Structure 1
Amino acid sequence: MSNKVVGDTELQSDVLEDLRAAVNYRRWLCSLGMPYFGDNLLEIGSGMGYYASDWADMGVKLTASEADPARLAGLYERFENDPRVSVRELAVPIDETADYSAVVAYNVLEHIPDQIDALKAFSGLLRPGGAVVLVVPAFEFAMSKFDLEIGHQRRYTKASMAEALTSAGLEIERCQYINALGLFAWYGAVKLLNRRPQESPMLTLYDKVYIPVERRIESKIRPPFGQSVFAVARAR
């Protein structure tokens, strides 16, 4: 089975651009990954570079990578004069090994048909004990027409994420749901009403008012469900 990323790349880029205003949500996800990065981080599927830019502002030195030519060109332009962020082309299937301290891939794995091969490839980019840090969409019942259009092969539960990581030979350190009420917002707006996530006054309000509250709550209590699964696993 192929492990090439699939989906409408133009639509993916449009959505990434539309969601650039979700600053609090993006920084929440950035902060979740930070403790696991170490000194030599590789981001797989950097898109428009929003996460990479936020991590750089948080003091992380990293390599951003992309396979899509247009997005890769955008990354080179964005970080041309930024010594904190290196840029490279990296496409799955990945057939190289490296010595990164961590590999982070936010909303990437769900696009790859052969997730086990992809996770093994991520692990091969790490030094022993390095971390694979992931965010993936949660729950198959929330799979929408929009998910399919942008190339989502699956949505996850904690159990299915853990099974994939274990099958790839990784040692699970953390696996949890995040953004509990966001699952209902996604299901209602995207699954039932067939809307595309995009920049809007409602999204801005959601990001400014709801996300900081949810972030504080979930820093103390792990919810039993969520819009996404956050996972960390170690290379053996």
Structure 2
Amino acid sequence: MLEGLATAVNHRRWFVELALPYLGDNPIEIGSGLGDYALEWAGRVPRFTATEADPERLVALKERLAAEHPAVDVRQMLLPHTDRGDFSAAVSYNVLEHIEDHVGALRSMRDLVRPGGPVIIIVPAFEFAMSPADIATGHVRRYTTKTLAAAMTEAGLTVEKIHYANALGLIGYFMATKVFRLMPKEGPMVKVYDTLVLPVTKAAEQVVRPPFGQSVFAVARTPA
């Protein structure tokens, strides 16, 4: 779904900036897709590891990053797993909602991060917004701040920050996908929203956190 919104540059940069203060010197991204976020983050940290579960996307991810960031490590990774690591942070955007055992997936992310390091998550918000577009793209759930915090706590993480993001985006998404049953895709409306509406939404939410949003953003710490 997000790959269909590649022209939403301001949206991507907003979410890139949310994670930047927590990434540290050697983060790993879980579920990099085609690398839109990886490309943004890789140029701002000393080392970066991108991962993808789908074999076809993995090939495309390796080709894209090799052309633009040859020093980035790219590997296949499925969740849950039993790997251990010493990464400065694990970041995963719009992945957890695809995984039945989301607590196991969070434990796997926890085990990749050095003690006291952060696990940074963005997931789609509110079950009432579950639409044919969600189902078509493999979503098994949507979240509230309460349900995401509960899953993180059950996974042995300590929630440090959690809030909604992109309040107007939730309204637009609900109308487009539930009322009009459209699939999110590039087009004039996306460009108009991203260029004119989203910067205002971002600025407002930096002053006052909204009680709802299109996404839930969370940072949780591994045991020290």
TM-score interval (norm. to shorter): over 0.9
Query: What are the equivalent positions in structure 2 for 1:1-236 lying under 5 Å apart?
Result: 15-59=1-45, 61-81=47-67, 82-236=69-223
- One-letter code aligned to 1:85: V
- One-letter code aligned to 1:61: R
Name the residue aligned to 1:11: none
Q: Could you give the per-residue CA deviations for residues 153-197 of structure 1, whole angstroms, max 9, x where no partner exists?
A: 111111111111111110000000000011100110011111000
Q: Which moved more, 1:57-66 or 1:88-97?
A: 57-66
Structure 2 distance, partners of 1:25, 1:142, is 19
Structure 2 distance, partners of 1:107, 1:207, is 19
Report the alpha carbon displacement of residue 17 of structure 1 after superposing the two structures with TM.
Answer: 3.3
Note closer, same or farther for the CA distance 1:98–1:43 as it changes in structure 2 (3 Å cut). Answer: same
3-state secondary structure, aligned to 2:89? strand
Confirm or deny: 8 A CA contact 1:129 1:234 kept in the other structure. yes
Note closer, same or farther for the CA distance 1:227–1:60 as it changes in structure 2 (3 Å cut). Answer: farther
3-state secondary structure, aligned to 1:233? strand
Name the residue aligned to 1:3: none
- One-letter code aligned to 1:104: V
Q: Which moved more, 1:26-35 or 1:92-101?
A: 92-101
Question: What number of residue pairs does the alignment pair up?
Answer: 222
Report the alpha carbon displacement of residue 37 of structure 1 after superposing the two structures with TM.
Answer: 0.6
Structure 1 distance, partners of 2:165, 2:12, is 12
Report the alpha carbon displacement of residue 59 of structure 1 after superposing the two structures with TM.
Answer: 4.6
Report the alpha carbon displacement of residue 108 of structure 1 after superposing the two structures with TM.
Answer: 0.3
Report the alpha carbon displacement of residue 84 of structure 1 after superposing the two structures with TM.
Answer: 4.6
3-state secondary structure, aligned to 1:129? coil
Structure 1 distance, partners of 2:71, 2:177, is 36
Note closer, same or farther for the CA distance 1:155–1:210 as it changes in structure 2 (3 Å cut). Answer: same
3-state secondary structure, aligned to 1:80? helix
3-state secondary structure, aligned to 1:133? strand
Note closer, same or farther for the CA distance 1:135–1:145 as it changes in structure 2 (3 Å cut). Answer: same
Give the TM-score of the pair, scaled to structure 2: 0.96
- One-letter code aligned to 2:51: S
- One-letter code aligned to 2:111: G
Structure 1 distance, partners of 2:3, 2:105, is 26
- One-letter code aligned to 1:43: E
Report the alpha carbon displacement of residue 18 of structure 1 after superposing the two structures with TM.
Answer: 2.1
Report the alpha carbon displacement of residue 58 of structure 1 after superposing the two structures with TM.
Answer: 3.9
Note closer, same or farther for the CA distance 1:110–1:77 as it changes in structure 2 (3 Å cut). Answer: same
Query: Considering only aligned residues, what root-mean-square deviation do their CA atoms show, in Å?
Result: 1.2
Identity of aligned residues (%): 51
3-state secondary structure, aligned to 1:75? helix
Report the alpha carbon displacement of residue 211 of structure 1 after superposing the two structures with TM.
Answer: 1.1
Q: Could you give the per-residue CA deviations for residues 192-219 of structure 1, whole angstroms, max 9, x where no partner exists?
A: 1110000001101111111111111111
Name the residue aligned to 1:5: none
Q: Which runs of 5+ in 1 are unaligned?
A: 1-14
